[in-house]
């Protein structure tokens, strides 16, 4: 096993303060945390981008008569406009979107951590 390969544990010897001539060998586990964080943050970023894009996908055309603007993925969080003007913001949908994003991001982080051992 080469030390330069990504994702592998590295043994590091450091001088111990317990006495002269003593060395302690320990393994770094930072690679596992980095793999989890990479998967977690990529999926969380994907949900952020999906919510941003949902505004443009769900909103009516600018020249439409009622021109309702909407945002939120996977649940509709905000809606505004219409013939009889309406402004609606759903906290339950917002918390649902956050819960779905965090749960799927955690699952992706664990998957990346387990697969890339």
Label residue 17 by pLDDT band (50, 70, 90).
low
pLDDT for 26: 56
DSSP-assigned letter for residue 67: -
pTM of this structure: 0.70
Alpha-carbon distance of 76 to 99, in angstroms, equals: 14
Find the range with the poorest average confidence among 20-29, 44-53, 68-77, 100-109.
20-29
Establish how many alpha carbons lie within 13 A of residue 89's alpha carbon, considering only the half-sphere containing its beta carbon. Answer: 1
User: pLDDT tens-digit profile of 61-91?
Assistant: 877 888 899 999 999 999 998 888 899 999 9
């Amino acid at each position: 096993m080469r030390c330069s390969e990504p994702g592998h544990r590295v043994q590091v010897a450091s001088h111990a303060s317990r006495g002269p001539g003593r060395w302690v060998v320990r393994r770094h586990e930072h690679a596992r945390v980095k793999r989890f964080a990479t998967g977690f943050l990529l999926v969380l970023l994907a949900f952020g981008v999906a919510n941003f894009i949902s505004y443009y996908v769900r909103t009516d055309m600018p020249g439409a008569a009622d021109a309702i603007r909407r945002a939120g993925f996977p649940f509709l969080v905000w809606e505004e406009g219409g013939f009889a003007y309406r402004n609606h913001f759903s906290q339950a949908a917002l918390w649902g979107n956050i819960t779905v994003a965090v749960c799927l991001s955690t699952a992706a982080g664990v998957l990346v951590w387990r697969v890339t051992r």
